[in-house]
Amino acid sequence: MTVKKLSPEELLGINKFVVDEEEPHIVLDKSICAGCKEKPCLVVCPAVLYTLKDGEVNFDYAGCLECGTCRIVCKNKGIIKWTYPRGTMGVSFRYG
Ligand code: SF4
């Protein structure tokens, strides 16, 4: 039997998400992010949800893997809210 190896992108694409459109579980204060020189969130998020556009940090909580890494590395407290999504919302991991 041959087992096909999946790339990280393919594995991430198998996960299912129920996005809570009414209540984001992660909220940034972009005025704080603007003053952050390191912006570690841009490199640590395994889902690449933090991006930089015209010098501003952009973020979309849809697709969040709920790992908590951004919360840990955000030393300037630009993340003003980090909780798990409400019940039945968020990621359901599928392992292919
Ligand atoms: S909790 Fe993890 S996956 Fe979600 S935004 Fe933060 S670093 Fe990315």
Sign of the C-alpha dihedral, residues 67, 70, 73, 75?
negative
- Going from the Cα of 49 to the center of ligand 1, the distance in angstroms, rounded, reads 7
In a domain, 7, yes or no: no
Residue in the structure block whose two tokens are 């697709």? 63
* CB 47 near ligand 1, within 6 Å: yes
Contact assessment for residue 46 and residue 65, using Cβ atoms and an 8 Å cutoff: yes
Q: Mark 9-36 as b/e (b = at least 16 C-beta within 10 Å).
A: eeebeeeeeebbeeebbbebeeeebeee
pLDDT on residue 96: 53
pLDDT digits (tens, 9 = 90+) for 22-76: 999 999 999 999 999 999 999 999 999 999 999 999 999 999 999 999 999 999 9
Supply the range of the domain harboring residue 76. Answer: 20-92
pLDDT band at 78 (very low <50, low <70, confident <90, very high): very high
Q: Is residue 70 part of a domain?
A: yes
The dihedral sign for the CA sequence 49, 54, 55, 56: negative
User: Does residue 4 form part of some domain?
Assistant: no
Q: Establish whether residue 20 lines the binding site of ligand 1, counting it when its CB lies within 6 angstroms of any ligand atom.
A: no
Residue 3 lies in a domain: no
